[in-house]
Structure 1
Amino acid sequence: MKCPFCNAESTQVTDTRENDEGDIIRRRRRCNDCDKRFTTYERIELKMPQVVKKNGSRAEYEREKLLGSMRLSLRKRPVTVESVEAALDRIESKLLALGEREIPSEKLGELVMRELKKLDKVAYIRFASVYRNFEDAEEFSDAIREVSPHPRAKPRSKS
């Protein structure tokens, strides 16, 4: 660490402390050349990948934007805010685990659909219909069959 006063390369740590949450480390340092003291802080910086849209443009990942899309799909559905937040945390963990600088929007959409499928089947269908750009009723039927636990039995005709 360079001294901010004389730019010397040689500094010594005299004290190290963590904050109460344990996510920031405060270090007191002393310059070996000019003997002045200064404080540095270390914190974890997680960089989310950029989202590459279908048209090739790039945008910063925005948790709030993703949350808004999920809320729209979950509107008037019996899903808790905590469940949605946990789903978003899982999506972000997967994005970070990929270790990529960029992620196609399609891949992000698939991660969202996977989480929505676990949370609420109706929300999944709503999101999928917009995300996959359903063109007709058959595509809705396919998506519904995909989340149905078993095919419905045909009603028996009375003879």
Structure 2
Amino acid sequence: MRCPVCRGATTKVVDSRDSGDGDEIRRRRKCLECGHRFTTRERIATTLPIVRKRDGRRQSFDRNKILAGLKLACRKRNIDDGQLEDVVRKVEQWAATRSASELRSKLIGDRIMHHLHALDQVAFVRFVSVYRSFETVAEFERLLQEMEKAEHVSVEGQRTLFDAPDGGAPVASAQATDDG
């Protein structure tokens, strides 16, 4: 590891610590040539798929781009950087487990929305409005109506065990009277 100040090649690790989630090692280093101390971070190198944009362009998966979008959506919300890093980490892990060498940006955006919806609904609406390029108030209203309608439906789109398919009386109570 080269020193960022003098570009010297001989450095010594002074301290090593695991990150809280165990996905990263933080190392304090000292340059043996100029004495400058600096921090490096190590993480496992994963092979992430190439992202295919809507217009057909391809680009590398960029965790910083996702994090920047999340920070913008969560601005002035009670969400700390650790929670945002957690969302990015989950999306990265999800992307790394896909068997395809390419992922459509829409799938990545949908995955981000899935995690953001569970984290903060206001940030979710902000993110969706940019991601889907909302241009009218009607588009916001439609999204909010969909969210209200789907409150009894999980983020994955599955109803809970006791919800009726039509949103009416719980299914479990109707079945209990039939069985019993």
**RCO (CA 8 Å, sep 6+): is it higher in 1 or 2?**
1
Question: Residue 4 of structure 1 aligns with which residue?
Answer: none
Task: Give CA-to-partner distance per residue, 1:39-71, whole Å, 9 cap, x none.
Answer: xxxx96410111101111111111111100110
Q: For residue 100 of structure 1, report the CA deviation from its aligned partner.
A: 1.7
Gaps of 5+ in 1: 1-19, 24-42, 151-159
Cα offset for 1:87?
Answer: 1.0
Query: What is the aligned-residue identity percentage?
Result: 35
- What residue ranges of structure 2 are gaps of 5+ in the alignment? 1-16, 24-42, 153-180
Q: Give the TM-score, by structure 2 length.
A: 0.56
Task: Quote the Cα distance in structure 1 between the aligned partners of 2:108 and 2:64.
Answer: 14
Residue of structure 2 in register with 1:12 after alignment: none
Change (3 A) 1:44 1:134: closer
1:123 maps onto 2:126 in alignment: no
Rounded Cα–Cα distance in structure 1 between residues aligned with 2:146 and 2:79: 21
The 8 Å contact of residues 134 and 140 in structure 1, kept in 2 or not, is answered as yes
Q: 2 CA distance for matches of 1:146 and 1:88? A: 25
What per-residue deviation string (whole Å, max 9, x for no partner) do you get for residues 69-124 of structure 1? Answer: 11000000111211111111111111112122111111111111111111111111
- State the superposition RMSD in angstroms: 2.4
Number of residues of Structure 1 aligned to a counterpart in Structure 2: 112
Q: Which has the larger radius of gyration?
A: 1
